[in-house]
A = this chain, B = another copy of it.
Amino acid sequence: MRLTKQTNYAIRILMYCAANDGKLSQIPEIASAYHLSESFLFKILKPIVKHGFVESIRGRNGGIRLARPASEIKLSDIVRVTEDNFSMADCFEAEGSNCPLVDHCGLNSALKEALGAFFIVLDKYTIDDITNNNSRINELLGLHLIEGYEARAN
């Protein structure tokens, strides 16, 4: 049981932007911080730009930044957008299931309840919660090394 890489890195991109505190973040910097390729990063960006979590500013001094406050982006919002589906088992998709129990299954309803409990926890946490309670995050992400960071931070 695992979240997709898309979800995992989408959240990390949002954490990077949150740590960068409203300033524009450059794709090569984010890619370097997380040891990712820029092309993979662009792929991850698509759904989070499309769904209004991040805005992309074009041009020589362009970059990306959060499109709304980090305290208003719940982890559950992102997971819902980036995960392909939440079919815990193939019997969640009634049409594709060969199981004779599909319409009368106690397993199906127990798994739905468990998934609901999983989301209730992710509803509680925002990008701000998981980023800015970490006093070392700027250092860990290398933000303190980026040219102009001090100037921009002051």
Enumerate chain A interface residues (CB-CB to B < 8 A).
1-5, 7-8, 11-12, 15, 33-35, 75, 83, 85-91, 98-101, 104-107, 109-111, 113-122, 124-125, 129-131, 133-134, 136-137, 140-142
Interface contact B100-A33, CB-CB below 8 Å? yes
Given A75-B110, A114-B118, A125-B110, A104 and B3 touching (CB < 8 A)?
A: no
Interface contact B130-A106, CB-CB below 8 Å? yes
Interface contact A136-B8, CB-CB below 8 Å? no
**Chain copies in the assembly?**
2
**Other-chain residue from B87, B98, B105 in contact with A2 (beta carbon distance below 8 A):** B87
Interface contact B104-A136, CB-CB below 8 Å? yes
Chain A to chain B contacts (Cβ below 8 Å), 27 pairs: A1-B83, A1-B86, A2-B85, A5-B90, A8-B91, A8-B107, A11-B107, A12-B99, A15-B101, A33-B100, A34-B99, A34-B100, A35-B98, A100-B142, A101-B141, A104-B134, A104-B137, A104-B140, A105-B130, A106-B130, A106-B131, A107-B130, A110-B125, A110-B129, A115-B118, A117-B117, A117-B120
